[in-house]
């Protein structure tokens, strides 16, 4: 059955009161049911999804069919969130069967990909065709739709999060209708960083630019005093800059400076604000194998192979870990950094590494960088969830004077009432999500506790 026929059948069935017959269907007859032995967990293994069934559609029509026939459901990307955001009291719809690069429009300078494509699935091909995206996260293993839904970001004072590349998206709504939203659509700023609350995104069109090369230079042992005195200069030293620290000894262990070779080619020298150029490739977490990291030592390479810290095909970061991340206005960066440094005694014992990055402001209602240039303080934790969850309120309290916003896909404890004060458009977001999803098909414990309250 093609889509037109399906939608026609659907509307006739609804008009004829046959919905009950649909919902009474055995789930086994629906497309893409995945038989999974054992519990279904997220990437880090710290969260076991409660959703009973997992479906893996391979066409948009199958997504529509599942949408009409199932009750509660949620899209599931590459499972890289650390909390219950992708869970559902009903079913999960994996987008891993929708993973292709669909088209490149050289005139509009856009690329259209299916929602379940991971950046690493198509970035090399895009480069081969002469194009690039503006930025990537620390890893290319995540799906485009999953990353955009949570406001996932890389670094760079001029770089918005990954969702800022979205030019339009296709969304299957709860009634199975497929709609396209572009930048002119009034709902676009709500739906792009949509926390899975509006429907299942099936494809996204992203802005692209001519491809570029990046060189990555690492400096070791930057004194924290240099960060305090020269934060803006250091974070502007490249197209994308990351500071890694364990908060001890007034020291930033690694400064990763990623520079576009078409813009920034001068040698930086062996010393930078008191830090020294690394003499070999580094992993952000001391002692872990550098096989997994993107190439460094100033060797130029394509954007997709330098902007992420980690390479496709390898385990990114540590694997056995947890993560939290907190966004504050960039103008408060130094105060926020010092506030965390003052907690080093509590933070360090649970920490694998922290990372400090910058993100340019955007206009997506639920983006942590909504209308404010931001600095993000990230924590890669040891997998000691109870202890981490016990510590988070103190960190959130220390950053509260800066109206801190958490990364939606990582661990945090801030409740909906507090978040509402920090997201001026949250009430509008909730109202719009209810308009799209009046029956609450996409509601889950996460949305109920963190957003709707």
Ligand X SMILES: Cc1cc2nc3c(=O)[nH]c(=O)nc-3n(C[C@H](O)[C@H](O)[C@H](O)COP(=O)(O)OP(=O)(O)OC[C@H]3O[C@@H](n4cnc5c(N)ncnc54)[C@H](O)[C@@H]3O)c2cc1C
Q: Which residues bind ligand X (CB under 6 A)?
A: 43-44, 74-81, 85-86, 95, 115, 137-139, 142-143, 145-147, 149-150, 152-153, 195-196, 200-201, 316-317, 323, 407, 409
* Closest to ligand X by CB, 98 or 227: 98
* Closest to ligand X by CB, 201 or 336: 201
| 251/275 Cα distance (integer angstroms) | 10
For residue 53, the minimal CB distance to ligand X (Å) is 15
For residue 16, the minimal CB distance to ligand X (Å) is 30
For residue 409, the minimal CB distance to ligand X (Å) is 3
**Cα-atom radius of gyration of the chain, to the nearest Å?**
22
* Closest to ligand X by CB, 30 or 115: 115
For residue 18, the minimal CB distance to ligand X (Å) is 27
For residue 336, the minimal CB distance to ligand X (Å) is 17
For residue 301, the minimal CB distance to ligand X (Å) is 18
* HSE of 441, CA atoms in CB hemisphere, 13 A: 25
| 358/369 Cα distance (integer angstroms) | 10
* Closest to ligand X by CB, 77 or 174: 77
* Closest to ligand X by CB, 116 or 226: 116
CB 436 within 8 A of CB 428: no
Extract the tokens encoding 399.
């950053």
* Closest to ligand X by CB, 249 or 448: 448
* Closest to ligand X by CB, 181 or 226: 181
For residue 195, the minimal CB distance to ligand X (Å) is 6
* Closest to ligand X by CB, 226 or 442: 442
* Closest to ligand X by CB, 146 or 174: 146
For residue 267, the minimal CB distance to ligand X (Å) is 27
For residue 238, the minimal CB distance to ligand X (Å) is 16
For residue 131, the minimal CB distance to ligand X (Å) is 22
* Closest to ligand X by CB, 152 or 159: 152
């Amino acid at each position: 059955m093609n889509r037109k026929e399906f939608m026609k059948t659907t509307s006739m069935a609804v008009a004829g009161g046959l919905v009950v017959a649909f919902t009474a269907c055995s789930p086994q007859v629906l497309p893409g049911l995945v038989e999974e032995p054992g519990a279904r967990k997220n990437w880090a293994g710290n969260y076991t999804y409660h959703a009973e069934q997992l479906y893996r559609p391979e066409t948009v029509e199958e997504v529509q069919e599942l949408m009409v026939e199932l009750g509660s459901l949620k899209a599931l990307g590459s499972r890289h969130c650390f909390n219950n955001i992708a869970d559902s009291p009903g079913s999960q719809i994996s987008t891993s069967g929708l993973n292709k690069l669909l088209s490149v429009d050289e005139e509009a300078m856009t690329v259209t990909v299916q929602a379940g494509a991971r950046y690493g699935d198509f970035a090399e091909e895009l480069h081969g065709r002469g194009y690039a995206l503006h930025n990537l996260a620390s890893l290319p293993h995540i799906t485009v739709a999953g990353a955009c839904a949570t406001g996932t970001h890389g670094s760079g004072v001029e770089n918005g999060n990954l969702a800022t590349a979205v030019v339009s998206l296709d969304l299957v709504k709860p009634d199975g209708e497929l709609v396209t939203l572009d930048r002119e659509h009034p709902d676009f700023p709500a739906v792009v960083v949509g926390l899975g609350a509006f429907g299942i995104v099936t494809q996204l069109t992203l802005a692209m630019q001519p491809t570029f090369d990046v060189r990555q230079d690492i400096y070791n042992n930057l004194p924290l005093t240099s960060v305090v005195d020269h934060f803006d200069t250091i974070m502007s030293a490249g197209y994308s800059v990351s500071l890694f620290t364990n908060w001890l000894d007034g020291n930033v262990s690694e400064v990763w400076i990623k520079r576009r070779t078409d813009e920034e080619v001068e040698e930086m020298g062996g010393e930078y604000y008191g830090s020294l150029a690394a003499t070999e490739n580094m992993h952000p977490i001391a002692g872990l194998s550098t096989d997994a990291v993107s190439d460094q030592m100033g060797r130029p390479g394509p954007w997709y192979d330098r902007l992420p810290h980690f390479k496709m095909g390898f385990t990114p970061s540590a694997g056995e870990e947890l993560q939290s991340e907190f966004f504050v206005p960039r103008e408060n960066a130094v105060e926020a950094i010092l506030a965390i440094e003052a907690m080093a005694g509590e933070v360090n014992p649970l920490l694998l590494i922290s990372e400090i990055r910058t993100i340019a402001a955007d206009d997506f209602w639920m983006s942590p960088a909504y209308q404010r240039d931001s600095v993000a303080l990230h924590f890669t934790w040891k997998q000691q969830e109870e202890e981490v969850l016990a510590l988070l309120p103190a960190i959130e309290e220390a950053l509260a004077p800066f109206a801190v916003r958490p990364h939606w896909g990582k661990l945090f404890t801030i409740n909906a009432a507090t978040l509402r004060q920090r997201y001026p458009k949250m009430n509008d977001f909730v109202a719009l999500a209810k308009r799209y999803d009046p029956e609450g098909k996409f509601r889950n414990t996460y949305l109920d506790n963190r957003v709707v309250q």
